[in-house]
Amino acid sequence: MKFQLFLTKHTNQITLVTGILIVLGMLSKYLLQFTLGYQVILAVASIIAVIPIAVRAWSALRNKVFSIELLVSIAVIGAFIIGEFNESAIVTFLFLFGSYLESKTLQKTRTAIKGFTDMSPTTATLVTDDGTEEVDVDDVDEGDVVLVKTGSQVPVDGIVVEGNGYLNEASITGEARQINKQLKDSVYSGTMVENGYLKIKATQVGDDTTFAKIIELVEEAQDTKSKAEKFIDRFAQYYTPAVLVLAVLVFAFSRDFRLAITVLVLGCPGALVIGAPVSNVAGIGNGAKRGILIKGGEVVDTFAKVDTLVFDKTGTLTEGNTAVTTMHTYTNNADNQLALAAAIEGVSDHPLGQAIVSYADQQSVGVAPVLDDTGTVKGQGICAQVGKQEVVIGNQKMLTAHNIKLNPTQLKDLNDLQAGGQSTVIMAVDGQVKLIFGIADTIRPGVKDSLAALKAQGIKKLVMLTGDNELTAQAVANELNLDEVHANLLPEEKVEYVKKLKAAGNTVAFIGDGINDSPSIANADIGIAMGSGTDVAIDTSDVVLMQSSFPTLVHAHGLTKKTVSNTRENIFIAIATVAFLLIGLIFGYIYMASGMFVHEASILVVIFNAMRLINFQTKFDKQQPTKTIQAATA
């Protein structure tokens, strides 16, 4: 074992020595005309080079695996038997040099993981009774408070208990922009405080943090095999022994030992074995760099075949936060009336009321009036006394209860808002309607364009399933040009609809928030969570979009299709190379050394082809601002 580790550690030096000996051997033959010296030098070069190859072959054989190294080792022994020391030296050198180049280029396909690992926080400033103390991040426990200053990394997942600052969350979401964090806001390990300071109470530490889970997830994903990889693994188990048998048959019928040995060299399936995994590693790494976590090669394969996308509405297609979209005014002092409405709704925690309060804050309407008295009417709204004015604010039932009527203009405005799927709140002062609010859950930015891009990429059907009312759901569906919409659904009814789509022969991806929609996510062919790293999102889904943005969904779908296409290209290159070598051998144009050169070249070709995925962008991506972890860490 120690010897094997020694050889692995010094393989590059062995390759260099072999190359130098080959050059010296050639100089000895062609400049000094010293044939014996030439043969001795190349024999020594062959022996030095074949040792690490033979050790790896023996290690594989002990595990009942017929490896490429076994074919090369047998070929070198055969070359020694027939006295072709130049062939054996060149073959072993090319094999070692090819392995070196292969390992170097493969490292580039894992740059996303290395980038993540390099960004892992290692220390934390722990707040103690005596002040602060610098500790290892593994020594922080749940409930501890840590201090994070400008330019430092957040070492834990937690809640802000003091301070104010702007965080760059690119390590979590892939989006390089600053987000303001204040008291009671959640923060994630691995993010960077760009400005300000925060004291954070740890809720998750060590391997339980979102950042650690992301690293673990992507590393596991890169090791999870696709169907193509699994097939090639099974194929390779029989292919290598088959090549050995073929070489024996060639010798048995031709009595040409050199030809049999050459068959062994040409039969090395290197490009075929490496072609599929390197594509998946590069594709998954591309996604990780952009905050898209794809759980393995099999997910890549299935997602590429998806033809039906099913969406939850609230928190997925929409922001998940109610907001005032329209305000009709029937007064000359709209700002004062809005301030009055906000003051009254400020005593309530109803989502519609909070939307009005937020809207008034955005409009900067000034000082709120003093309320003398308020009373809530369940299912209707709020009554208030403001000085001598009697104010009611709520729904139509509230107006009816107070004998307040809408004039034709107001009634039309109200009907138009409701027909558009918006919730409505009406405010009347002393029996006269002053304001009508249209409140809705706003659609996420860029959703409509993203859905169109998904259609262009091959998605055939877009379906929305929601528990909201029919009018609201239909309004969203109409705006986004969805193919189907089904409203008033319970979670179990969404699951049944997903199963129905699958039974009809569709390959279905369900996109939800990863919490309420977990059953549907789990039952779809591909479950996609729109979420900033929630535990349920990571655990339940096949794909997690850390940015919760639809442009990343477009990229994820396009990336999986391109990765599958790239894998097929690599398999074609590998098979074409073997065919080329066999034809060249039959017609006498390919020999042992030249065959090994072509073989190693084909491995590099499939690696370089896969590396194109590292910087892959869809057409839609090129129209969007560049927001990646690379930008954040540049």
Q: Which residues are catalytic?
A: 312
Q: Helices 35-62 and 11-30: crossing angle, nearest 10°?
A: 150
Place of tokens 């090639």: 232
186 contacts 159 by C-beta, under 8 angstroms:
yes
Token readout for 240 is: 């290598």
Which helix (H) or strand (E) segment holds residue 433: the answer is: strand 432-443
List, in order, residues 6 or more apart from 261 with CB less than 8 Å away: 74, 75, 78, 79, 82, 247, 592
**Alpha carbon 312 to chain centroid, angstroms:** 20
CA–CA gap between residue 587 and residue 330 (Å, rounded):
92
CA–CA gap between residue 153 and residue 451 (Å, rounded):
36
Q: Characterize 513-547 residue by residue with b for buried, 16 or more Cβ atoms within 10 angstroms of its Cβ, and e for exposed.
A: bbebbbbbbebbbbbbbbbbbeebbbebbbbbbbb
269 contacts 574 by C-beta, under 8 angstroms:
yes
CA–CA gap between residue 125 and residue 483 (Å, rounded):
53
- Alpha-carbon distances of 513 from 181, 530, 536, rounded to whole Å: 22, 5, 9
Token readout for 616 is: 């892959």
281 contacts 297 by C-beta, under 8 angstroms:
no
Token readout for 572 is: 């074609």
Closest CA to 328 of 442, 471, 427: 427
List, in order, residues 6 or more apart from 517 with CB less than 8 Å away: 312, 316, 491, 494, 510
Q: What angle do CA 612, 617, 620 make, to 5 degrees?
A: 160
User: Could you give the maximum distance between any two Cα atoms of the chain, in Å?
Assistant: 118
**Alpha carbon 615 to chain centroid, angstroms:** 14
Token readout for 595 is: 């065959």
List, in order, residues 6 or more apart from 184 with CB less than 8 Å away: 159, 160
